């Protein structure tokens, strides 16, 4: 499954269809191809792919771990997994596929850092400019560079947060894409929605939204796509 780190696919618009306007929706992580909708389903009782309505978020995650092995569900997109500081992130960052840092309002100079195999794999600004390190002018002890161990990020972010030119980039820290090969993060239970894709057959893709209320799965929406 390919990770589309910068491009916000047209599917992202669909992902927000069941979400309130103030909710921040992460980009889809999926294989890219030209799609058209061939059907939609919605469940408020029963189960789908082993995901049971009215189950706690932690139990739903356990079921998704089974889909990782059987349906190749490698990543889970998490809506509104946003932080206003670093204090809660020390042991949390390595559980995700990327971290976004920006001001509350959103800027072209916001930074997107993605991980692969426990290493920093890509660094982009929101403008689309790719970097080899961030901040570009910081020394080697402070800057985050491609190839760095993900476990070193927290300490480096603490240093960058002390630089006056970059402190505002820590106003909104987003962990949108959960790596399904890693353990459950209890804060996922506070999200109103998770979503993921899987490939049920040749030239087919399903986009699946899991909607939560008070930490329990209350609704599943499935949109079925076919590759043209």
Number of domains in the chain: 2
CATH number of the structural domain spanning residue 59: 3.30.310
Task: Give me the residues paired with residue 83 across strands.
Answer: 173
> Residue 211 falls within a domain, yes or no?
yes
> Residue 1 falls within a domain, yes or no?
no
Among candidates 189, 158, 184, which has minimal Cα distance to 173? Answer: 158
Q: Is residue 87 located within the same domain as residue 162?
A: yes
Which token pair is 123? 């660094």
* DSSP three-state, residue 189: helix
Q: What is the pLDDT of residues 60-113, one digit of tens each?
A: 999 999 999 899 999 999 999 999 999 999 999 999 999 999 999 999 999 999
Q: Is residue 154 located within the same domain as residue 133?
A: yes
Q: Is residue 192 located within the same domain as residue 111?
A: no
> Residue 71 falls within a domain, yes or no?
yes
- Sorting pLDDT into bands at 50, 70 and 90, what band is 228? confident
Q: What is the largest CA-CA distance in the chain?
A: 55
Which residue range forms the structural domain that includes residue 89?
82-175
> Residue 4 falls within a domain, yes or no?
no
Mean pLDDT of the chain: 87
CA–centroid distance for 173 within its chain: 12
Q: What is the pLDDT of residues 114-151, one digit of tens each?
A: 999 999 999 999 999 999 999 999 998 999 999 999 99
> Residue 113 falls within a domain, yes or no?
yes
> Residue 188 falls within a domain, yes or no?
yes
> Residue 3 falls within a domain, yes or no?
no
User: Across residues 23-33, what is the average pLDDT?
Assistant: 48
Q: Is residue 132 located within the same domain as residue 212?
A: no
> Residue 8 falls within a domain, yes or no?
no
Query: Has residue 29 got a pLDDT over 50?
Result: no
Q: Is residue 158 located within the same domain as residue 184?
A: no
């Amino acid at each position: 499954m390919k990770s589309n780190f910068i491009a916000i696919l047209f599917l992202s618009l669909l992902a927000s269809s069941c979400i309130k306007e103030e909710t921040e929706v992460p980009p889809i992580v999926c294989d890219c191809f030209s799609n058209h909708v061939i059907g939609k389903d919605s469940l408020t009782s029963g189960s789908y792919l082993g995901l049971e309505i009215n189950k706690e978020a932690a139990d739903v995650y356990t079921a998704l771990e089974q889909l990782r092995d059987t349906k190749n569900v490698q990543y889970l997109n998490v809506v509104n997994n946003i932080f206003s500081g670093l204090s809660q992130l020390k042991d949390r960052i390595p559980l995700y596929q990327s971290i976004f840092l920006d001001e509350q309002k959103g800027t072209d100079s916001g930074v997107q850092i993605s991980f692969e195999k426990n290493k920093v794999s890509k660094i982009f600004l929101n403008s689309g400019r790719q970097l080899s390190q961030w901040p570009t002018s910081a020394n080697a002890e402070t800057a985050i560079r491609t190839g760095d161990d993900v476990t070193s990020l927290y300490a480096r972010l603490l240093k960058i947060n002390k630089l006056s030119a970059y402190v505002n980039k820590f106003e909104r820290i987003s962990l949108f894409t959960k790596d399904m090969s890693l353990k459950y993060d209890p804060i996922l239970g506070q999200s109103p929605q998770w979503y993921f894709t899987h490939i049920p057959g040749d030239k087919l893709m399903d986009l699946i939204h899991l909607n939560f209320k008070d930490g329990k799965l209350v609704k599943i929406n499935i949109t079925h796509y076919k590759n043209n």
